[in-house]
Amino acid sequence: GENVEQHPSTLSVQEGDSAVIKCTYSDSASNYFPWYKQELGKRPQLIIDIRSNVGEKKDQRIAVTLNKTAKHFSLHITETQPEDSAVYFCAAIKGAQKLVFGQGTRLTINP
Amino acid sequence: KAGVTQTPRYLIKTRGQQVTLSCSPISGHRSVSWYQQTPGQGLQFLFEYFSETQRNKGNFPGRFSGRQFSNSRSEMNVSTLELGDSALYLCASSITGSSYNSPLHFGNGTRLTVT
């Protein structure tokens, strides 16, 4: 998506290892950073989000970190499991009231 | 509580035709936004509606339009279809008055194929 760069586009990890996906945004006014997971053939679903007043947020095996100075935020998945295989999208605000998505990362967990 | 409902699930149209897609948000959600999803471009924002008013619009040609009714249901219309309009069209609703800073609840989408 425009102005939200997401890397890598594909990621393959062994089951039990950690996965990290990084997004960079351009609008310094962005204050809300959600992550969505889309399993094959299904709708995107919010898995975690963070607001600019905190630097890190955790929910069981997933966490998001935010570096406002560098304008990047990352999704961390620990102890990966087969059901973590999906496409993950980050998003950030661009301009006036518009949410822009990254291009997505296809995560594959190898047994 | 029922989720976001989009109809139809699948559509096949011919170039030059027009199409209307429908979205019913979660009960109580007043903000509805639309996205186009393609393998090459990811999720692209089309527009957002709140209280029957378009609040924001993405970078799509005027052939793409929408509206929202008093019951928050929304429709999206694409006129003079082109092959490049083939995509999954996703609708999302949010409980707050904005889609850009609160969780989005997506529907299953309408897959449009233009031949």
One-letter-per-residue 3-state SS of B77-102: EECCCCHHHCEEEEEEEECCCCCCCC
Residue B75: CA atoms inside 13 Å, Cβ hemisphere, count? Answer: 9
Alpha-helix runs per DSSP H in chain A: none
Strands B110-114 and B10-13: parallel
Instruction: State the pLDDT at residue A28.
Output: 87
Q: Flag if B43 and A98 touch (Cβ within 8 Å).
A: no
Rounded Cα distance between A58 and A42, Å, is 24
Instruction: State the pLDDT at residue A74.
Output: 98
Closest CA relative to residue A7, chosen from A84, A65, A73, A99: A73
Q: Chain A partners of B43 at a C-beta cutoff of 8 Å?
A: 1, 44, 89, 101, 104
> Is the CB of B53 inside 8 Å of chain A's CB atoms?
no
A residues 1..20 contacting B (CB < 8 A): 1-2
Q: Kindly provide the residue ranges of all beta strands, DSSP E only, lying in chain A, ordered along the sequence.
A: 4-7, 10-14, 19-25, 32-38, 45-51, 56-59, 62-67, 72-77, 86-94, 98-101, 105-110
Closest CA relative to residue B92, chosen from B59, B53, B44, B60: B44
A residues 38..77 contacting B (CB < 8 A): 42-46, 49
Q: Chain B partners of A53 at a C-beta cutoff of 8 Å?
A: none
> Is the CB of B102 inside 8 Å of chain A's CB atoms?
yes
Closest CA relative to residue A100, chosen from A33, A40, A48, A11: A33
Integer CA distances (angstroms), B49 to A84, B18, B95, in order: 33, 21, 13
Computed over every residue of chain B, the mean pLDDT equals 93
Which portions of chain B are predicted below pLDDT 70?
A: 99
Q: Which residues, other chains included, contact A73 with Cβ-Cβ below 8 Å and sequence gap of 6+?
A: A22, A23, A25, A33, A50, A64, A65, A66, A67, A90, A92
Which portions of chain A are predicted below pLDDT 50?
A: 1
Rounded Cα distance between B22 and A68, Å, is 38
Instruction: State the pLDDT at residue B85.
Output: 97
Q: Per residue in B85-111, pLDDT tens?
A: 999 999 999 987 776 778 999 999 999
- Residues in chain A, overall count: 111
Q: Per residue in A78-99, pLDDT tens?
A: 999 999 999 999 999 877 678 8
Instruction: State the pLDDT at residue A108.
Output: 98
Of A44, A89, A93, which is closest to B100 when you measure between CB atoms?
A: A93
Rounded Cα distance between A16 and A18, Å, is 7
